[in-house]
Amino acid sequence: MQIPGAYQYEKYSFKFITPLMALMTPVFVVNGGYIGASVCFVIGALAAFSYQGIIIDTAEQRYLKYDRFWKFRIGAWKALPVPSYVTVVRINLSSRRTAPSPIVVPQDKKGARAFKVNLVVEGNQRFIGICRGSLENMTAEALRLGAHLQIRVLDYTTHEKKWMA
């Protein structure tokens, strides 16, 4: 579903259920449960090709956060509040699992940093999370979103907060 003039970001999303289903499929086959093996295989295959993304349709003033498995999208359109600015934020990853994405194990064992792009909006919602990843990729994505929405971009990754565009 391509919407002309809409902003779209999509990223591969590893699901833990994929290796679990891959391990359960042979167990069902060995025990003669071919229907169970087929179901496990199909679920594992769908989860192996999963993506998370967002589409912002400025013409209709709405956005869609979704999970995509092959061609199937799961998500609902929501009204887009008035955007104020885009920000790139540094987040610290720790050993506690609080997010659905896999945690990167830091080399120094103290903590790791990732970066997140947020669309700051007016109203009670405050912001819409767009994506997360490395500083270079998130900076480029924030600039692309800011140019698409024609709003400013704030670099909030250091103590010196500054406007990038």
List pLDDT tens digits, range 28-82: 899 988 998 999 888 888 888 888 999 999 999 999 999 888 788 899 999 999 9
Q: What is the pLDDT of residue 82?
A: 93
Please report which confidence band the pLDDT of residue 113 belongs to, taking 50, 70 and 90 as the band edges.
Answer: confident
Q: In this predicted structure, what is the pLDDT of residue 100? A: 54
User: Which phi and psi (to 5°) does residue 16 adopt?
Assistant: -65, -20
Amino acid occupying residue 39 = V
Instruction: Domain ranges for the chain, please list them.
Output: 1-80, 81-165
Tell me the H-state helices in the chain.
17-30, 34-48, 135-149
Using CA atoms, how far apart are residues 39 and 21, in angstroms rounded to an integer?
9
Query: H or E element: which one contains 8?
Result: strand 7-12
Q: Are 134 and 140 in contact (CB under 8 A)?
A: no
What is the largest distance, in Å, between two alpha-carbon atoms of the chain?
63
What residues are paired with 53 via a beta bridge? 10, 66
Residue entry with tokens 């042979």: 26
What is the distance of C-alpha 63 from the center of its chain? 14
110 vs 61 pLDDT, higher one: 61
Q: Distance (Å, rounded) from C-alpha 117 to C-alpha 103?
A: 18
How far is C-alpha 15 from the chain's CA centre?
13
pTM metric for this prediction? 0.74
